[in-house]
Amino acid sequence: MGSGPAPEAGVPGAADPAAAPFLALFARLNARDAEGLAALLDPEAVLLFPKAAPLLGPERILRFFKLLWRGYPELRFTVQEVILAPGGQRAALHWTNAGRTRAGAAYTNEGVTLLHLREGRIVGMSDFFKDTERF
C-alpha cells in the first residue's frame, strides 16, 4: 500500500470511526477479496439486490459477488458519502462505480447501499442504484 491518503479521504462521514466496518465492505469489493468479504459477513447475512430474490447467508452472497466480478472484470466503487445512524450500527453509503463488462463495454452507475451490523459484522445489505437495465 502506498503512503498517500486513504481512498475515503475527504468523503463526508468517512472519518467517523464507526464508518470503518461499512467502508471495509467496499474496500473488499474493490480488491475482489472474497475471503476478506466473507470475514465481514454475519452467518445470517442477507443481501437484497434489485431484480433478485433475497440472498441468504454468506455462501450465497459470495457466490453473487463472484458472478458480478466475472461479468464485470473491471469494476471499482468510490464511496461518495457515509451517513451513519445514531449508535453506528446502520449506515447508508452513497457510491459511484465505473468499469467494463466482460464484453469490453464501459459501465458506470450510482447508488446507495443500506448496511446493518450485528456484533461488528454485516447482517443486512440492501442495494439501490440508478441503472438496473443490465441486471
Question: Residue 103 carries which DSSP code?
Answer: T
Question: Residue 89 carries which DSSP code?
Answer: S
Distance CA 19, CA 25 (A): 10
Q: What are the chain's domains?
A: 17-129 (3.10.450.50)
Q: Give this prediction's pTM.
A: 0.89
The answer on pLDDT for 33 being more than 60 is yes
The answer on pLDDT for 89 being more than 50 is yes
If DSSP codes are grouped into helix, strand and coil, which group holds residue 65?
Answer: helix
pLDDT at 5: 43
